[in-house]
Structure 1
Amino acid sequence: MKSLRVLVVDDEPAIRGGIRKLLTTMDDVVVAGECQNAAEAVTAIRRNSIDLVLLDIHLPDASGLDVVRSVGTERMPLVVFVTAYDEHAIEAFELNALDYLLKPFDEERLERALDRARERLTTDGQQQVVQQLQKLLANYTQAGPERFVIRKTNHYEFVSADAIDWIESADNYVELHCGGKTHLLNETMGGIEQRLDPQKFLRIHRRHIVNTSRILAVHPLAGGTYEIELQHGARLTSGRNFTQAVRLLIGR
């Protein structure tokens, strides 16, 4: 039987150590890595072959759900959420038939979670989990203001969504344009669009999302597209596939 490669994500070293100790006593389980925050988790998942993530729902830089959004439901390994008692989160996991571990948990409970994960490591099972994760992200709203964690050379910066003027795709990254500063974030346009408030942000092009509160003017162009004039001097052209979205914005 193929070993189950497990990534442990929790900000508390003692809890990570306890989970690792339990996992190392189990047959056909390999601890593929440990992460203490969301940024490390996203990088580890993207760079390594992971079968299952034991993912703490509350991390210091973002939530466990933000990790799923950043990686994308199609690329996310199987996940078992780990949480101290959180009635809202537990209700969401149960509603969407996703497994979770309630801290503190013992070896027997962990083994049951791993057994269920193995059962789902089939094409049909994994597709079902993708759909369940998509429903969870659509229905579960994390309390508090939205913010993004930007990894710098030797520190992390926190950028509020309200500080963003516009967003531009850059290969497998996105650029957050905030006044005179630009931050590079390891995320896809589709992933970041899911995290933004649709009442505040508008996708106007496959490469551009704008903060509607920063729009100074909208200029019609030939062919049914528009030039969006923003604060700080940026001018962005809408894509043809997004014409209707801009028209709804200006009430046309």
Structure 2
Amino acid sequence: MTTETPSVLIVEDEPDLARLYAAWLEGSYDVETVSTGERALDAIDETIDIVLLDRRMPGLSGETVLSTVRERDLACRVAMVSAVEPDFDVIGMGFDDYLVKPASKDELRRIVEHLVLRTSYDEQLQEYFSLASTKAVLDAETTEAERKSSDEYAQLQDRLALCRVRLDETMTELLEQGGYRRLYQDLASESIS
């Protein structure tokens, strides 16, 4: 994430609904609202962490905005928030979550919290693999005696261990949120098959 306080962009063509969503999230997140797909594309950059995107809007649709965001390879998480019930047409859209309107305050906050947690997990995983790769190179290219005498190597091992603990804690939190427990079980059973 780009800052300590995650940023949320609400893309909603109904002004009252946009204000309501913003009120529900303000205080916990840096919130910005826009009312069109065109304005969304102008606003979405590396500083935006989460996008709550209406699927059907006049002009540029949420689907087109989402496609453009993915083409630009922006790291934000996108949740479609739509009155359109999902059907098989959502396959391949590339959203991170989908919420059917009308959304409650608890549902909206849960989705945003979940997407922030997923982003945090991804960042932690990237850091873990970077540290593990560094350790693997040093293990292959230095002697055991050199590694034992190196304060930097000891610090690397400590950072790697701490990163692993944080990863485990974040994964546990993701699994406790419910939806991912079933996904994880499905992935585990498919890898066994």
Which of the five TM-score ranges fits, normalised by the shorter chain?
0.5 to 0.7
More strand by share: 1
Q: Could you report, residue by residue, the CA deviation over 1:110-155 in whole angstroms, capped at 9, with x for unpaired residues?
A: 121012111211473799xxxxxxxxxxxxxxxxxxxxxxxxxxxx
Identity of aligned residues (%): 29
Aligned partners of 1:126, 1:88: CA distance in 2, in Å? 33
Shift of 1:106: 1.1
Bigger RCO (CA 8 Å, 6+ sep): 2
Aligned to 1:21: 23
TM-score, normalised to structure 2's length? 0.54
In structure 1, the gaps of 5 or more residues are 128-252
Match among 66, 69, 78 for residue 67 of structure 2: 69
Aligned to 1:56: 54
Aligned pair count? 122
TM-score, normalised to structure 1's length? 0.43
Closer, same or farther: CA 123–38 of 1 in aligned 2, 3 Å: same
Aligned partners of 1:83, 1:60: CA distance in 2, in Å? 13
Aligned to 2:44: 45
Q: Could you report, residue by residue, the CA deviation over 1:182-208 in whole angstroms, capped at 9, with x for unpaired residues?
A: xxxxxxxxxxxxxxxxxxxxxxxxxxx
Closer, same or farther: CA 126–65 of 1 in aligned 2, 3 Å: farther
Moved over 6 A (4+): 93-97
Tell me the SS of whatever aligns to 1:20.
helix
Closer, same or farther: CA 120–87 of 1 in aligned 2, 3 Å: closer
Q: Please say if residues 83 and 103 of structure 1, whose CA atoms lie closer than 8 Å, have aligned partners that are also in contact.
A: yes
Aligned partners of 2:30, 2:80: CA distance in 1, in Å? 18
Q: Aligned-residue CA RMSD in angstroms? A: 3.0
Aligned partners of 1:112, 1:75: CA distance in 2, in Å? 22
Closer, same or farther: CA 14–21 of 1 in aligned 2, 3 Å: same
Shift of 1:108: 1.0
In structure 2, the gaps of 5 or more residues are 126-193
